[in-house]
Structure 1
């Protein structure tokens, strides 16, 4: 297997801390915030991260497949979470220490609870508005009630981090698309 060639495209309006561990072909969109100590590895194929996502400390995103891993907009990957999903829609939350296997595709407006470990040998897709919780990944559907408030909170969270993270951390720069 040939060595992984590093190529980072970081939008000028993204905030990516210097001590983020990046490997492979990675594109980070505008407004996305990547905290220190996050890990993003494009081992098999490229990773394309959309706009206004938050990737917190210790969160790990890995693409082991040859296909492009696409992460939509306004997602939150909390502390210690690990996502190997080949696709992630928009406005999802992967909670603290949750794990998502590479056979699981995530729709939009989904929430994966703390310490929820989704591991299956068959390819599955989480439908939009799915809420998973507990060690056995029990499932519910969210009605979407309060969606506008959740979007507003996410927007404020991103703006706050874009203002404060650069004050205490050195930033990584990449090519602007």
Structure 2
């Protein structure tokens, strides 16, 4: 556990209430020093990777904790999946692109449904994610948000409510203010077909240029 926190960088943030010292850790972001003290006093995280034989998980992926990856799911190089407090279960047919970060900060199982797309550089901490969602490039979703199905979180959107909330099915979040509207669902069949074709292409191409991970920590 200690090795996990070796790569760090001090960060100072000034707010109205004063100057706060933070520490930056790749994959975790900025955290308070007392949070790291708490983490170091926790029991070591036991790595357990259950990776379906029909999934594609590149070797150059950061995995930590109890992680289950379903059939047909594709995890690109440089993606990060950290089950810090509780397990993460990822369904079938998902695509997790380069630089995407998925973190479970809660003790409950983080469940991600089927056919979800996590684009480059996004960060998701939601305890539940439904099916056929798109989390766009550099979007961030806090652990207080539960995502329904057929939702779209736009590029760079920040969803960090202080209290728990549910993002209803067919919700679309967009713009710098993370405005919301409800999508009619029109075109979802075509979108699903395109996503499956995208996944088929990746399943064919990625193994040609990347070594793959297997289950049980390998």
TM-score by shorter chain over 0.5: yes
Q: Show the counterpart of 1:151.
A: 192
Normalised by the length of structure 2, the TM-score is 0.80
Q: Name stretches of at least 5 consecutive residues in structure 1 with no aligned partner.
A: none
Q: Deviation digits for residues 129-168 of structure 1, max 9, x if unmatched?
A: 0000112110011000001100100110110100000000
Residue from 83, 87, 103 that aligns with 1:62: 103
Match of 2:146, SS state, is: strand
Per-residue CA deviation, residues 99-129 of structure 1 (Å, 9 max, x unaligned), is: 0000000000000000001011110000000
Secondary structure of residue in 2 paired with 1:159? helix
Runs of 4+ in structure 1 off by over 3 angstroms are none
TM-score (norm 1): 0.98
Q: Deviations over 1:19-67 (max 9, x none)?
A: 1000000000000000000000000100000000000000000000000
- 2:51 maps to which residue? 10
Q: Structure 1 residue aligned with 2:62, among 17, 21, 42?
A: 21
**Quick check: 1:171 aligned with 2:217?**
no
* Cα distance in 1 for residues equivalent to 2:211 and 2:46: 24
What secondary structure does 1:97 align onto? coil
CA distance in 2, matches of 1:15, 1:138: 34
Q: Report which of the two structures shows the higher radius of gyration computed on alpha carbons.
A: 2
Task: Identify the match of residue 78 of structure 2 among 34, 37, 61.
Answer: 37
Residue 139 of structure 1 corresponds to 180
Q: Secondary structure at the match of 1:58?
A: coil
Which one of 89, 111, 127 corresponds to residue 152 of structure 2? 111
TM-superposition CA deviations, 1:65-96 (whole Å, max 9, x none): 00000000000000000000000000000000
Q: Answer 1 or 2: higher relative contact order, Cα 8 Å, separation at least 6.
A: 1
Distance in structure 2 (CA, Å) of the matches to 1:64 and 1:135: 26
- 1:76 alignment partner, one of 99, 117, 139: 117
Q: CA RMSD in A?
A: 0.5
Match of 1:122 in 2: 163
Where structure 2 has 5 or more consecutive residues not aligned to the other structure, the ranges are 1-41
